[in-house]
Structure 1
Amino acid sequence: MSVFSDDPATPGRPFGTDYAARQGADEVDSRVRLHVRRQVDELVQGRLDPSVRRQMSGTIRGHWSTRRGVELEVLETSNGQETLVVGGELLVTARSWADPAIQGYLTRRRLERVEVGCPELEDRLVRLLTTGTVRPGYLEDTVDELRRRGAAASLTHITPLAGVLKPHSASVPTIGTFEDYGTHPTGDGSGANVAVIDTGIDGTLRSDGWLTGIERRSDVPATHADEANVDPLDNDPDDGFLDFSAGHGTFVSGVVAQVAPTADIEVYRALSTAGAGSEIEVACALIRAVRDGADVVNLSLGAQTQYDQPSLALAAALDVVREIEIERAREVLVVAAAGNFGDTTPVWPAAFRRVVSVASLTADLRPSAFSSRGSWVDCAAIGEGILSPFVTGEQSPDFTPDPESFPENAFARWSGTSFAAPQVAGAVARLMHERGLGAREAYVQLLATGTPLPDFGRTFSILPGV
């Protein structure tokens, strides 16, 4: 592969045609192209068609209730969309909780403090559960009152896979073994550590070498269940078909591996195969990943929130990340998908200033109709018909009228901002290796090669799409 190019004569193409040449981008057959167009159309419908949104949220709510015994509730956001929150639960910052008046009010509202779930958030965030049956809207009214009193409070949001689930992925021919794919030229730095926080990694090792270097953790003690990282694939429900978002973490990891073959990839499971986890679970995984030494963290997930306010759990986690950076004198770059909502409403965690938010482009570098956008978006990469390793199994006919069957060593094409973000994460990791740079310095150099596009930040052509 050629080295990084910041030639002004080729703006927006930091690695030239490295990846297009290896993927046979001009040889995609009509069946796959049609399938990708269907993916894109369904992502757009997710915003415009209430019935599609109800189906998606219903899938998540049903699986959450079955597996956890807790109901999720649907709230309307400022833009008329829906967001999911954990029923009977709210969050306040530790600073707000320290106010005796706030604490007394919450006690009178029959809310009881419980553990947050990870030690480093216990002194920053307070998680409260209702102690009895309450009327609909009770906690919403409680949060409204807390906000009027100047407290930082929120319901506990669910952070799905970048806003809208992707129900289709298209089976495609392999691009060969990982060994044949090739590595980058010897650089000045070692391989960067990239953490992928997602649905986990496929537990079955492939015979073509792709993703075989990623550690699988399944046999962990019950007291450390959050450390398991294997994607169960068929779990919600166990019906012989791949679950709604099965293989998402594997696919995202494959995107990183294609862009940065020398990267050391670590996968953390914070989302179920139904495609969702709570903001607390994602926040705890983020802290674990950085504590474990991640240079770059990829989050192909996100949510719009009530009042459009930042996630309290993720804000607290980012504060911890900053303290770890200072402690170790080493910066960490957090990259997140901008979301598939098709509007300018902020999506969290992407909209945090300390997070690199990545939107989606078409294969010819135009804005994807489904992609979230706005002044809070930093950059964009192609997110339609991205090619990557997938998992073995069959799609459920409940999710698509034309289910695909994926063989061993499968590759697939998938669409969404979920697959634009890991290209940027991988590009940063590649530059760290080639130029011996820190994560943020590498990102700054990458950003300088991008082409500006209103509401999409700097745009890049890295992996080809369809």
Structure 2
Amino acid sequence: MSTSDGTGADAQQSRPSSRERAKVRQQVTELVRSAREPALQRQVVRSVTARYRARCDRTLETVTQGDGTSVLVATRELLVSTQTWADVGARSYLEARRLERIELDAPEIDDKIVLLRAADDVSADELHDTVAELRLRGFAASQNQVMPCGPIMKNLGGPALAHHLPVVEHGPLPDAPHVAVIDTGIDERVRTDGWLVDVPRHTSGPDTNIDPLDIDPGDGYLDLCAGHGTFVAGVVARVAPHARITAHRALLGGGVGTEVDVAAAIVRAAQQGADIINLSLGSPTLYDQPSLAVEAALERVEEIEHAEGREILVVAAAGNAGDTRPMWPAAFRQVVAVAALTAEHRAAPWSSHGFWVDCSAVGEGIQAPFVKGKESYEFTADPDDFPADAFARWSGTSFAAPQVAGAVANLMREKGIGARTAYAQLRATGRAVPDYGRALHILPGL
């Protein structure tokens, strides 16, 4: 993809308006505030839970750990490894706790993970105690945790209307690296300015990837986190104009999906030939332990790499909690964890960070294509009305990660190397920043 003057997606940008700048500053303020105000977090959880129930006919609830931190989980659902389920003692204990096996509906990992559901009157705390007991006995078990793209990961207010970038004249190359974006899906509407027009749209079947934008509820306003996947794909396209981009929808009502949903999408993307898989999503986990389902998916990805003799790189946002607690799946050793920098290339204080972070890129005021629609006063005091072919600015590690994915794709194409090799070369160009990995210069912020 190249722009009208052939010099790349950032050519001849008009100067951002004072309103753009003010709204980006507000986004950053909200990122800092949301991590520190329990009342705001509770409001977010209520909004997400209600929308997920309406979309999926399943409920979510919050489990509060001993240190006061909370994790969203699917109600009455527990995951165990197939080895745990095969153990006679573990299975007897689970059945005594009134848990029964149900269909996982994720053939990509169903030989590695077993999904159990508790009786209706089993509380979240009881299920939490069951997991704790299994862990004490040395068995792999966890509640089916939820992975949001936000707003738990970023500001509640959403993006800001921005000026236009140049139109696109040429699409991706057929032999270019393949970047898979696992997120809320892609806008069904095909833009008239060339941006993201080559991203495949699937309106039905198991690979449905359309972001419905306005059904939670259908009130004429953009849903919570609507357009997130489209925006992330647009960030990849800005950095890597010639990359082949595909969108996979694993996040549903309220911009959240269970770890099983995300894990299945990771494997599907790898099976369909993705070289780079971008995950602008994640959360803390119970006991700060890796997600069982995503761990199984990453094992499957490694099997695909070995069987097909190629490299697959998984890149994930580090989160916006402003502390050092690991966020998953970014904290997996096999995953590139991307934290955020300010527009001045300093460590962003609102970004999650720590020893587990690999690199960082600017995460404030990133500009990319967005969707048509009106924002609701429920989520922002200053809503925007986005026209057709709109662009927006958004802040968060969600928009630092796809820059790294795009930069890796560029190096793969330029040098004819694999994704992991390309990432190693990219990371070597960065500046070391304590707890933020290597700081990379990719897209400018605001």
TM-score normalised over the length of structure 1: 0.91
CA shift, 1:371, in A, is 0.4
SS in 1 for 2:35: helix
- The answer on whether the counterparts of 1:46 and 1:52 sit within 8 Å (CA) in structure 2 is yes
The structure 2 residue matched to 1:228, chosen from 193, 196, 208, is 208
1:133-144 matches, cutoff 5 A: 133-144=121-132
The structure 2 residue matched to 1:173, chosen from 163, 167, 173, is 163
Provide the residue aligned with 1:117 in structure 2.
Answer: 105
1:47-446 matches, cutoff 5 A: 47-77=35-65, 80-161=68-149, 163-166=152-155, 167-179=157-169, 190-220=175-205, 224=206, 227-446=207-426
- The answer on whether the counterparts of 1:161 and 1:300 sit within 8 Å (CA) in structure 2 is yes
Counterpart-to-counterpart distance in 1, 2:65 and 2:431: 32
CA shift, 1:76, in A, is 2.5
Closer/same/farther in 2, CA of residues 20 and 362 from structure 1, 3 Å limit? farther
SS in 2 for 1:137: helix
Counterpart-to-counterpart distance in 1, 2:362 and 2:63: 31
Counterpart-to-counterpart distance in 2, 1:337 and 1:397: 27
Counterpart-to-counterpart distance in 2, 1:268 and 1:135: 33
- 1:175 is aligned with what amino acid? L
Provide the residue aligned with 1:40 in structure 2.
Answer: 28
Question: What is the number of equivalent residue pairs in this alignment?
Answer: 440
CA shift, 1:78, in A, is 6.2
Identity of aligned residues (%): 52
CA shift, 1:77, in A, is 4.4
Work out which structure has the larger RCO, using CA pairs closer than 8 Å and 6 or more positions apart in sequence. 1
Residue 452 (str. 1) matches residue 441 (str. 2)? no
Counterpart-to-counterpart distance in 1, 2:44 and 2:319: 15
- The answer on whether the counterparts of 1:143 and 1:155 sit within 8 Å (CA) in structure 2 is yes
Provide the residue aligned with 1:12 in structure 2.
Answer: none
The unaligned stretches of length 5 or more in structure 1 are 2-16
Counterpart-to-counterpart distance in 2, 1:134 and 1:352: 31
Counterpart-to-counterpart distance in 2, 1:367 and 1:21: 27
- The answer on whether the counterparts of 2:259 and 2:291 sit within 8 Å (CA) in structure 1 is yes
- The answer on whether the counterparts of 2:314 and 2:334 sit within 8 Å (CA) in structure 1 is yes
What do the CA deviations read for 1:178-203 (whole angstroms, capped 9, x no partner)? 12xx799x9xx931000000000000
CA shift, 1:55, in A, is 1.0
Counterpart-to-counterpart distance in 2, 1:386 and 1:23: 13
Provide the residue aligned with 1:9 in structure 2.
Answer: none
- 1:382 is aligned with what amino acid? V
CA shift, 1:219, in A, is 3.1
- The answer on whether the counterparts of 1:254 and 1:388 sit within 8 Å (CA) in structure 2 is yes
SS in 1 for 2:315: strand
- The answer on whether the counterparts of 1:342 and 1:371 sit within 8 Å (CA) in structure 2 is yes
CA shift, 1:21, in A, is 4.9
SS in 1 for 2:348: coil
How well do the aligned residues superpose, as a CA RMSD in angstroms? 1.9
Counterpart-to-counterpart distance in 1, 2:288 and 2:197: 40
Ranges of 4+ aligned residues in structure 1 off by more than 4 Å: 17-22
Counterpart-to-counterpart distance in 2, 1:212 and 1:183: 8
Provide the residue aligned with 2:4 in structure 1.
Answer: none
- 2:284 is aligned with what amino acid? Q
Counterpart-to-counterpart distance in 1, 2:71 and 2:365: 27
Counterpart-to-counterpart distance in 2, 1:83 and 1:137: 12
CA shift, 1:312, in A, is 0.4
TM-score normalised over the length of structure 2: 0.95
- 1:164 is aligned with what amino acid? M
Counterpart-to-counterpart distance in 2, 1:183 and 1:21: 17
CA shift, 1:66, in A, is 2.1
Provide the residue aligned with 1:14 in structure 2.
Answer: none
Counterpart-to-counterpart distance in 2, 1:120 and 1:464: 38
CA shift, 1:412, in A, is 0.3
Task: Single out whichever of 332-341 and 122-131 deviates more from structure 2.
Answer: 122-131
Counterpart-to-counterpart distance in 2, 1:76 and 1:132: 20
Counterpart-to-counterpart distance in 1, 2:425 and 2:13: 25
SS in 1 for 2:368: strand
Counterpart-to-counterpart distance in 2, 1:97 and 1:219: 34
Task: Single out whichever of 125-134 and 138-147 deviates more from structure 2.
Answer: 125-134
- The answer on whether the counterparts of 2:8 and 2:241 sit within 8 Å (CA) in structure 1 is no
CA shift, 1:71, in A, is 2.1
Counterpart-to-counterpart distance in 1, 2:166 and 2:64: 46
Counterpart-to-counterpart distance in 1, 2:365 and 2:352: 17
Counterpart-to-counterpart distance in 1, 2:9 and 2:67: 38
- 1:332 is aligned with what amino acid? I
1:22-37 matches, cutoff 5 A: 22-24=12-14, 27-37=15-25
CA shift, 1:70, in A, is 2.4
The unaligned stretches of length 5 or more in structure 2 are 2-6
